[in-house]
Structure 1
Amino acid sequence: MSGGGTTGGSARLLPSDPPGGRRAMAVWGIGVAVYFVAITYRTSLGVAGLDAAERFHINASELSTFSILQLLVYAGMQIPVGLLVDRLGAKKVLTLGAVLYTLGQFGFALSETYAMALGSRALLGCGDAMTFISVLRLGSRWFPARRGPLIAQIAALVGMAGNLISTLVLARLLHSLGWTPTFAGSAVGGIVVLAVLLVFLKDHPKGFEPPPAPARHTGAAFVRRQIADAWREPGTRLGMWVHFTTQFPAMVFLLLWGLPFLVEAQGLSRGAAGDLLTLVVLANMAIGLIYGQVIARHHAARTPLALGTVAATALMWALTLAWPADHAPVALLTALCAVMGACGPASMIGFDFARPANPPERQGTASGIVNMGGFTASMTTLLAVGVLLDATGDNYRIAFASVFVLEALGVSQILRLRRSAARRERERMVVSRVEAVHVPV
């Protein structure tokens, strides 16, 4: 298992390993709620893409710029956020994140021009970037290391439920209440979670305070060393490429292009398209629990699960795009969306490669590097689809073929790094077990 080489239920807790329990669930749940709201805001454009194009009088490339800018900010913030979490703790970073994404959502609600809307999405992306790594840090501070994979999958599962708010609630409110009331009303959720986290959230349980950072752990030299040390670990790089390869097909679909593809290219009604987007989210939540349990019991399943998810996703996209008729059958589209539900859980495997490869004081930085992977791939694909749609007269077959290029790149890197990462992880596990024998209890 990750986090010092403990395995299964028979592993004994080290004195530095937090015990978990109900209070841990309550405190960690506050952080997850902050992440849940961030996901709701992040994916709200996915059900409003056609409305945004009409409101701001923009084409496909300009529409994709909304999500590209948001993800560019998100990806660019990952390493700085990881460093901030390592230095300041999760509560302060989550607080700043909630403030920024709430302001971004309010700004988006009030935007009358394309430029103002772009600025609001950038601000939202900045706040969103501060949430997930902070939640991972909370989990490592409040729960024993052997629970790491399952806790991370549950956090992602609850966060993905934010997509349900977008597809089931915001989409309907948008067409009944209009743009400004819908987005402004949703921004109230950010105010609520901000108030709760300020009052109740704690960085760690009493008695499990991390040691104070040495005075030398500041300045540009330390930052460079922290990043270089995390990157030097094969497990960190493997985790980044797993995240890169697995996450982006579903992210691009849910974040922006799924609804236009299903409505304009496949001839479905908005209601039917919304149901398929909801299926992606529900499948994500169900598969996340399965993947978390499997990896917690069988660590060797990480790479097969990741590569299997990529293969299944590529196969379903190939069948859909190569279908000889103008519209693929609904059964095939349903299968495509169900399979894409595995993309999010598979991307979480990336963190489970980085976690055992890095010491606790470097977990935030390593998680930031991993998290850059999928969002960089998503940003690239969002841009490619938008440009190709404009260049080909809205030919979705050609535009979505860009998915295969990034999947091939990612798989090649996973295959290249997997052996060196496994060897390094075994070495660290041996060292951890030797140290555990000499820890007084």
Structure 2
Amino acid sequence: MGAEQIHDIGRRRAWAIWSVALAVYVLAVFHRSSLGVAGILAAERFEITATSLAAFTVLQLVVYAGMQVPVGVLLDRFGSRTLLLFGLVLMTAGQLAFAFSTSFGAAVAARAVLGAGDAMIFVSVIRIVSVWFLVRQAPMVTQLTGLTGQLGAIAAAAPLTLLLDRLGWTRAFASVSSIGVVLLIAVVFLVKDSPYRRDEVVHIKLRALAQSVRTVWGNPGTRLGMWSHFTSQFSGTVFVLLWGFPFLVRGLGWSEGAASGLLMAMTAWAVASGLVLARLVARLPLYRSWIVIGVVLTMAAAWTAVLLWPGVAPAWLVVVMAFATASGGPASMVGFDLARTFTPVQAIGRANGLVNVGGFTASLLVMALIGVVLDLAQPGGMDAYALDDYRLAMAVQFPFWAFGIVQILRYRRRGLDHLRRVHPGAVEEMQAGRPFVHPGIGTEGV
């Protein structure tokens, strides 16, 4: 980099900045996941069907996914700090509006605003990881980002359930929205975009925007990361955000307490499996996409066993399925590590935005399809759905897994060909267990 370095990379200041940004991401996951345990209550509050209930989260994810490319461009232009601030403002306003919504239309609009704010957070944190940490540290810190962020899902699974029970809908959601104000102050005073005197942001003119995105998208490494994220992330997102709780309670007959407990245990498993995956990714950089495929096949096998089990699947098998599904979260983080191999830091925001589109596009499609299948199978509403209805609906995941695996294999081959052609020696370097450092990224201390 041409700019003067004024702070150490990968040291105490880096960890402090990352911790503040990570706290914002935890809050974003909490807001995103809050409807997962409030879904049944929301259906009663707004008197809606399963398709309409799915529309809450689907619209939120449509906004989230649709904003990833422009957010990536803005991130490369303005840096992480600015986007974290704007994201916090939108999430706080959206959750507060959701708390006071009494009509379905107003509530959907509030979730859309929340999704717009959420869209700015994760890629901003990942850019901080790319800029503030050494290349050898990045895979582990990236996994820690995704896994620690899931603490927000834990908070949505149990404490929010308690708040809703004790305080009611409006006071519970209004209370949690106030956390954003505290984090807004922390970001203003503690977060810095770069360890360099002049941050490596890119001043992109509007007429060059389409070309810059096409250039990043044309890189096979970006697409490999995107399809890896697409294939591994959606099942856990769909399960935790919306349909896992009704499936466990209404489909399998679990108590609400047991269902909330399993959602929390899934997060704990994701942390443990993520640490293992991080070490594998760091030691086997050439085989990262195969690691993702292995996790996806495990998920598909576990779901097959649960859905085909005669009668209600035993609790131990459901737990195995849930843990396998939870492993998809850490596997999806490998997509960002793959994209970083092919992308200079000046374009990492756009690359990460495109990667992040994958999993959330799959999530919103699967989430909506499950709602549609449930309503077609049983028009009687949430209380009428039986186990066979949920079995049929949850099976829509399998075509997405199959298509995603095909695309991963396709772009793995193209990505390796690209590296051999453009960066001779890169494949051999990864084969030897060493991470390839893109020439656009500084190599201090690697």
What are the ranges of 5 or more consecutive residues in structure 2 without an aligned counterpart?
Answer: 379-384, 427-435
2:231 paired residue among 207, 230, 245: 245
2:146 paired residue among 156, 159, 168: 156
Alignment partner, residue 209 of structure 2: 223
**C-alpha distance in 2, partners of 1:353/1:197?**
28
C-alpha RMSD of matched pairs (Å): 2.3
Contact 1:314–1:404 (8 Å) recurs in 2:
yes
In the TM superposition, residue 211 of structure 1 has moved relative to its aligned partner by: 4.7
Alignment partner, residue 192 of structure 1: 182
Aligned amino acid, residue 57 of structure 2: S
Matched, 1:423 2:408: no
Task: Kindly provide the CA deviation profile for residues 325-373 of structure 1, in whole angstroms up to 9, marking residues without a partner as x.
Answer: 1x11111111111111211000011111111111111100000000000
Alignment partner, residue 337 of structure 1: 322
Contact 2:61–2:361 (8 Å) recurs in 1:
yes
Matched, 1:209 2:194: no
Contact 1:93–1:130 (8 Å) recurs in 2:
yes
**C-alpha distance in 2, partners of 1:212/1:387?**
43
Contact 2:78–2:201 (8 Å) recurs in 1:
no
2:240 paired residue among 228, 231, 254: 254
**C-alpha distance in 2, partners of 1:152/1:428?**
24
Give TM-score scaled by structure 1 length: 0.92
Matched, 1:56 2:46: yes
Written as runs of structure 1 = structure 2, the 5 A alignment for 1:274-289 is 274-289=260-275
Note closer, same or farther for the CA distance 1:26–1:429 as it changes in structure 2 (3 Å cut).
Answer: farther
Alignment partner, residue 334 of structure 2: 349
Note closer, same or farther for the CA distance 1:350–1:440 as it changes in structure 2 (3 Å cut).
Answer: closer
Note closer, same or farther for the CA distance 1:212–1:342 as it changes in structure 2 (3 Å cut).
Answer: closer
Percentage identity across aligned positions? 42
**C-alpha distance in 1, partners of 2:47/2:154?**
27
What are the ranges of 5 or more consecutive residues in structure 1 without an aligned counterpart?
Answer: 1-13
- The secondary structure found in structure 1 opposite 2:136 is helix
Q: Work out the number of aligned pairs and report it.
A: 423
**C-alpha distance in 2, partners of 1:119/1:32?**
26
Note closer, same or farther for the CA distance 1:434–1:238 as it changes in structure 2 (3 Å cut).
Answer: closer
Note closer, same or farther for the CA distance 1:401–1:434 as it changes in structure 2 (3 Å cut).
Answer: closer
Matched, 1:374 2:359: yes
Task: Kindly provide the CA deviation profile for residues 314-334 of structure 1, in whole angstroms up to 9, marking residues without a partner as x.
Answer: 001111111111x11111111
2:57 paired residue among 57, 67, 89: 67
In the TM superposition, residue 146 of structure 1 has moved relative to its aligned partner by: 2.2
Note closer, same or farther for the CA distance 1:304–1:256 as it changes in structure 2 (3 Å cut).
Answer: same
Contact 1:18–1:141 (8 Å) recurs in 2:
no
Contact 2:134–2:444 (8 Å) recurs in 1:
no
Note closer, same or farther for the CA distance 1:198–1:429 as it changes in structure 2 (3 Å cut).
Answer: farther
Written as runs of structure 1 = structure 2, the 5 A alignment for 1:288-437 is 288-325=274-311, 327-393=312-378, 394=385, 395-426=389-420, 427-428=422-423, 430=425
Contact 2:135–2:437 (8 Å) recurs in 1:
no
Alignment partner, residue 118 of structure 1: 108
Alignment partner, residue 163 of structure 2: 173
Aligned amino acid, residue 405 of structure 2: V
**C-alpha distance in 1, partners of 2:285/2:10?**
21
- The secondary structure found in structure 1 opposite 2:88 is helix
Matched, 1:33 2:23: yes
Contact 1:357–1:428 (8 Å) recurs in 2:
no
- The secondary structure found in structure 1 opposite 2:44 is helix
Aligned amino acid, residue 132 of structure 1: F
In the TM superposition, residue 440 of structure 1 has moved relative to its aligned partner by: 12
Give TM-score scaled by structure 2 length: 0.91
In the TM superposition, residue 137 of structure 1 has moved relative to its aligned partner by: 0.8
1:99 paired residue among 77, 84, 89: 89
In the TM superposition, residue 218 of structure 1 has moved relative to its aligned partner by: 2.8
Contact 1:17–1:145 (8 Å) recurs in 2:
no
Aligned amino acid, residue 142 of structure 2: A
Aligned amino acid, residue 65 of structure 2: A
Note closer, same or farther for the CA distance 1:434–1:150 as it changes in structure 2 (3 Å cut).
Answer: closer
Aligned amino acid, residue 342 of structure 1: S
**C-alpha distance in 2, partners of 1:347/1:398?**
26
Contact 1:356–1:425 (8 Å) recurs in 2:
no
